[in-house]
Each structure stands twice: as structure tokens, then as C-alpha cells.
Amino acid sequence: MLNRRKFLGSSLLASTGLFLKTKNEGIKSSLVIDKPIVISTWDFGKAANAAAWEVLSKQGRALDAVEEGVKIPESDPDNHSVGYGGLPDRDGHVTLDACIMDENSNCGSVMCLEYIVHPISVARLVMEKTPHIVLAGDGALQFALANGFKKENLLTAESEKMWKEWLRNSKYEPVINIENKKYNDKSLSPGGPFNHDTIGMLALDNNGNLSGACTTSGMAFKMHGRVGDSPIIGAGLFVDNEIGSATSTGVGEEVIRIVGSHLVVENMRLGLSPRDACRKAVERIVKRDPEKAKNLQVGFLALKKDGSFGAFCIQKGFTYAVRSTHEEKIYESESWFS
């Protein structure tokens, strides 16, 4: 008899997301879709996945799962790259970008939204209550307030201190993979380097439907009004329920240029595995400007319709979290440069 535990422990199978379930013990095995499953960017994706799992494990909808999931880092003051406590722009404004997409290609997005702890929920309302897909800036804020969201100061004392230290040099210098470093890490102060890093989350529910969410405070100390890839459907997030879904993190300008998440999904449509689809998108960025790529981080994460998943990034250090019926784990993505 198949030792299921041992079998599922195999990292190869885990990373493909596929596993065999013995339906009639000892008689026949058949390949089944691994669902539900949720995956998300970075180590902080683990806590977010746990919230998403609450929904998925009760036969809930992937759309509800990704919204609930990413709300965890959005309201975490210690996470300086998403939502409340996110690092501000160079003028001291915390401006948030978020988007969400469901299994029917419905999507909603907010860009450069201030004062609202959960931009992902505003993005969902844009999707569900308006004839539009994107609301930006003050219009997004007015829409949120009209729908009962509370106006709150998102700049925590710690983020304000980091911003003031940065102002001493005012040097815009994104640093690769700094998400895991704590504020008291000496390399972060005074005056930078500074952090970024987005939560992008992809889920496949029990009904076999995919959804995704992506939310961020964007690049720290960016120009006021700057919008990255994260709230742009096709760049920071894309879901095609026939094929799969993808999301990105890293320097958004480079992802927008190649419409990265859409490219990853299209690569899967052509038959590539999630990991190879992500690698192909990374290759596009690296080959465009190999010199620039040496000091650049972009990571892609993909979840296919069959529950298989994978990632690829430019620089070593991009991690992602997976929660499924048989694992709760953080993986390190393969990278272009070692």
C-alpha cells in the first residue's frame, strides 16, 4: 500500500502540487487535482495563508479566501511593505495599491489609496459595486468612505521614524529581499536602505475555481503618486480560470514593462509548468537589460488550474508560502542568479 505520508513528504511532488490519492485501496490509483490550496509571496504569506485556509477548508470561495488572507499583512503594523505600517512615499504619505480578480475575470483595483487599512476590500467593492475596474487617489478614498470604511492614520511611529532617517540622505535605493529584516537591523538605519515587498496570493477552491489578490504599500519613499505593478491587472496579478493564475513582487516598473503576471499565465497556456512559466517571464526581464538585472529583484509565483504551483525570481532570496490539504510550508524560489 502506498505510504501516503511519506509520499506527500516528497519535495518533488510537493512542489508540483500534484499527488496521488488511492481511491480504492490497493486496486487503482488516479491522479486528482490538489485542492483546495493557497499560495502567497514571502514568509509573511504563511500567516496570510492561515486566514485564507479558514475559508478554503470550509468549502469557501477562493475569492473570499484571498481577501481574508491578504488582510492579515494589511493590518500588521510590523509589516512595513503592506497596508497599515507600510513605509510612506518621500513626502510622508502612505499610499496603497491593491487588486483582486475572480474566476470569471471580474476584477477590481485601487491605486494610490490613502488612510484605509484594507485596500483589498475596497478593490473588491470596486469590482462588485461599480461599472469600473480601477479607482485611484482621492476618488478611491471617497468611494471607500461612502461605503463605510474608516479613515485612519496609516503612518505608525516606527515607519515615520524610518522615513525621517531616510530624509537625511533622501537616496532612492531599493534593496533586494529586505522584507525579512527587522527595523532594528543596522543595515536599515539610519537613512536606508529601505524595504519593499508585496503580498500576492493565489487560491484554488474546492469547486476548482481560482482567484487572486495583491496588495502593497509599494516601493518605500517613492515619488508621490507613483503606482507600481501590484494594482495593475495583468502586471501584479492575473487569473484565467481555464489555465491558472500568477502574481509578482519586486521592482514593479520592470514587471509592468512585460505585463508579467499575464505573461506567466500565457506561458502556462502554452504548456509550461508554473515554475517554467515564471522562469520565462524572469528571462524576459533579465535579457532586456542584463546589467540592470544584476541589482534588481523580481519574483513571480504561479498556481495552475490543476493545483500545481511554482515560482522563479531574479535574485536568490524570494520565498513563498504554501498551504494545502497536505502541507504548510515556506519554499525558497529558484533564481536566475545564484
The residues that are catalytic are: 198
Alpha-carbon span 120 to 107, nearest angstrom = 11
The piece of 99-107, 135-143, 146-154, 192-200 that touches ligand ASP (CB under 6 A) is 192-200
CB 66 within 8 A of CB 212: yes
Burial of 30: CB neighbours in 10 Å, binned 0-12, 13-18, 19+:
exposed
Q: Which of 252, 274, 307, 310 binds ligand ASP (CB under 6 A)?
A: 252
Q: Where are the alpha helices (DSSP H) in 96-225?
A: 119-129, 137-146, 157-169
Closer to ligand ASP at the Cβ: 95 or 121?
A: 95
Closer to ligand ASP at the Cβ: 56 or 251?
A: 251
Strand order, beta sheet including 237-240? 237-240, 244-250, 298-304, 309-313, 334-335
Q: Is there binding between residue 249 and ligand ASP (CB under 6 A)?
A: yes
Closer to ligand ASP at the Cβ: 218 or 310?
A: 218
Main-chain dihedrals φ then ψ at residue 246, nearest 5 degrees: -150, 155
| Residue 203 cell numbers, joined | 487560491
Q: Is there binding between residue 216 and ligand ASP (CB under 6 A)?
A: yes
The piece of 17-25, 106-114, 129-137, 196-204 that touches ligand ASP (CB under 6 A) is 196-204
Q: How many residues bind ligand ASP (CB under 6 A)?
A: 13
Q: Is there binding between residue 83 and ligand ASP (CB under 6 A)?
A: no
- What is the closest distance, in whole angstroms, from the C-beta atom of residue 113 to ligand ASP in the complex? 13
Q: Which of 17, 69, 218, 260 binds ligand ASP (CB under 6 A)?
A: 218
Output the CA–CA distances (angstroms, integers) from residue 309 to 54, 251, 268, in the order listed.
20, 22, 11
Q: Which of 15, 16, 177, 198 binds ligand ASP (CB under 6 A)?
A: 198
* Closest listed residue to residue 301, CA positions, set 57, 42, 97, 9: 42
Give the E-state strand segments of 217-293 in sequence order. 237-240, 244-250
* Closest listed residue to residue 183, CA positions, set 95, 86, 57: 86
Q: Is there binding between residue 229 and ligand ASP (CB under 6 A)?
A: yes
- What is the closest distance, in whole angstroms, from the C-beta atom of residue 225 to ligand ASP in the complex? 13
Q: Which of 40, 230, 273, 319 binds ligand ASP (CB under 6 A)?
A: 230
- What is the closest distance, in whole angstroms, from the C-beta atom of residue 301 to ligand ASP in the complex? 11
Alpha-carbon span 229 to 295, nearest angstrom = 18
- What is the closest distance, in whole angstroms, from the C-beta atom of residue 101 to ligand ASP in the complex? 16
- What is the closest distance, in whole angstroms, from the C-beta atom of residue 186 to ligand ASP in the complex? 22
- What is the closest distance, in whole angstroms, from the C-beta atom of residue 194 to ligand ASP in the complex? 11
**Interacting residues toward ligand ASP by CB under 6 A:** 196-198, 216, 218-219, 228-230, 249-252
